Amino acid sequence: MRWSRQNRAGLLAATLVVAGLALSGCAGLASATPPGPARPSAPPAAPTVSTVPPDGTQDVAPAAPIRITSAHGALSGVALTADDGTPIPGTVSPDGLTWTATAPPAYDTTYHFTGTAKGPGGSVPVTGGFTTASPTRLFHVSTNIGDDAVVGVAAPIEIQFDRTIPTADRAAAERTLSVTTTRPVTGSWAWLPDTSEGSRVHYRPRSYWPENTGVTVAARVYGLDLGKAGFGARDLTTTFTIGRSQIVKADATTHRIQVVRDGTTVIDLPASFGLETDPNRVTRSGIHVVMGKSQTVLMSNPAYGYNDVPEHWAVRISNNGEFIHANPATNSVQGKRNVTHGCINLSTKNARSYYDTAIFGDPVEITGTSVPLSASDGDIYDWSIPWAEWKSMSALA
């Protein structure tokens, strides 16, 4: 039979359609094949518990962290108890997976963990225990500002250790120290040279304290292991207030001192400073700090021929023998010439008027002399150290 061109084209199209249907049918059959049986799901994991310190640890420092950590199960009924039944309090994290002690344990005591970790995979008991250190050496700390004191705007905070703290352990010691204030303050700790009593670290702000600021200082050293210095005997805290701003501006070139309170000059007095021609008698320039005061102080300087001379209305401003005090013997030159042995001399009336206003921590800014205040002048020379250098003296810098 002879086909026309049109018939041959139609036959080809029909063949293609049938082939397409056949392919579609194969695909449809394949997708309809039923899946095999589902694999069984894994059972939930059983809880696991770990403790810090690990079970059986000896000589644990009471300041070391104490916690229980659980995986795959929430903690319940957790307790840490001494052999005599004394409990150590703690808190559980919001997810229930960590318990942390909130108070330190006692020295030379064995403690035991108890409780349960429960989860979808079951429950396991919390077990384990440790024994704390029994130190042969303890160190103590003290501070220079007591509770409820009111101090001046330049008052440094001193923490004095009664033992020498090895350099390698100072960072650990400093981490236990804190200063909190009721007004924003930028400050830093700095380790100063050791004294005969032991090591000391001072805190001061970058600039003077804001007036009327509440300050709380804490040294959480109980249980802290500081190597050769021993273990911390007890914590220390103190809360005090920065009072009004009172700054003494003392200018040896004008021979006067001015008392500036809250930005206003309230006292302006003639004075005599140390004799400039004798290096041993020069009043030191720089920011001094009022350290204390007494109505009568016996002053001695054997090299210059006097011993136990009573001087009155004396305000100490350094540990090198510098005071602001009354000295009637120099009344005639006060406001004119500098003739003293390093102190700032005032008349008796003027000395008492200033004495009545002075409190520990007031800054005394002395200018116009040839010798600067330095570490050789006693315990409080903090403000003579530039801020960048002061910060670098922190063990955490």
Domain ranges of the chain: 48-132, 138-243, 246-381
Per-residue pLDDT at 81 exceeds 50: yes
Confidence of residue 88 (pLDDT cuts 50, 70, 90): very high
Pick the CATH number of 138-243 from 3.10.105.10, 3.20.20.220, 2.60.40.3710, 2.20.25.10: 2.60.40.3710
How far apart, in whole angstroms, are the C-alpha atoms of residue 310 and residue 233? 42
pTM for this entry: 0.85
The answer to whether residue 26 is catalytic is: no
Q: Which residue has the higher pLDDT, 166 or 17?
A: 166
Per-residue pLDDT at 279 exceeds 90: yes
Residue 270 pLDDT: 98
How far apart, in whole angstroms, are the C-alpha atoms of residue 261 and residue 280? 32
Residue in 72, 202, 255, 325 annotated catalytic: 325
Per-residue pLDDT at 311 exceeds 70: yes
Confidence of residue 24 (pLDDT cuts 50, 70, 90): very low
Per-residue pLDDT at 28 exceeds 90: no
Query: pLDDT for 123-136, tens place per residue?
Result: 999 999 999 999 99
Query: pLDDT for 242-255, tens place per residue?
Result: 999 999 999 999 99
Confidence of residue 34 (pLDDT cuts 50, 70, 90): low
Per-residue pLDDT at 94 exceeds 60: yes
Query: pLDDT for 169-216, tens place per residue?
Result: 999 999 999 999 999 999 999 999 999 999 999 999 999 999 999 999
How high is the mean pLDDT of the chain? 92
Residue 312 pLDDT: 98
Residue 379 pLDDT: 87
Backbone angles phi, psi at 69, to 5 degrees: -125, 135
Q: Do domains 48-132 and 138-243 have the same CATH topology?
A: yes
- Span 289-310, average pLDDT: 96
Confidence of residue 40 (pLDDT cuts 50, 70, 90): confident
Contact status, residue 142 vs residue 95, Cβ threshold 8 Å = no
Residue 274 pLDDT: 98
Letter for the amino acid at 337?
A: R
Per-residue pLDDT at 18 exceeds 80: no
Residue in 72, 255, 288, 343 annotated catalytic: 343
Confidence of residue 39 (pLDDT cuts 50, 70, 90): confident
- Span 336-344, average pLDDT: 98
Residue 35 pLDDT: 63
The answer to whether residue 325 is catalytic is: yes
Q: Domain 246-381: give its CATH architecture.
A: Beta Barrel (2.40)
Q: Which residues of 84-121 are buried (b: 16+ CB within 10 A; e: fewer)?
A: eeeebebebeeeebbbebeebbebebebebebbbbbee
CATH code, 48-132: 2.60.40.3780
Query: pLDDT for 212-233, tens place per residue?
Result: 999 999 999 999 999 999 999 9
CA 147, 150, 155, 158: dihedral to nearest 10 degrees?
Answer: -10
- Span 16-35, average pLDDT: 42
- Span 145-157, average pLDDT: 98
Per-residue pLDDT at 33 exceeds 90: no
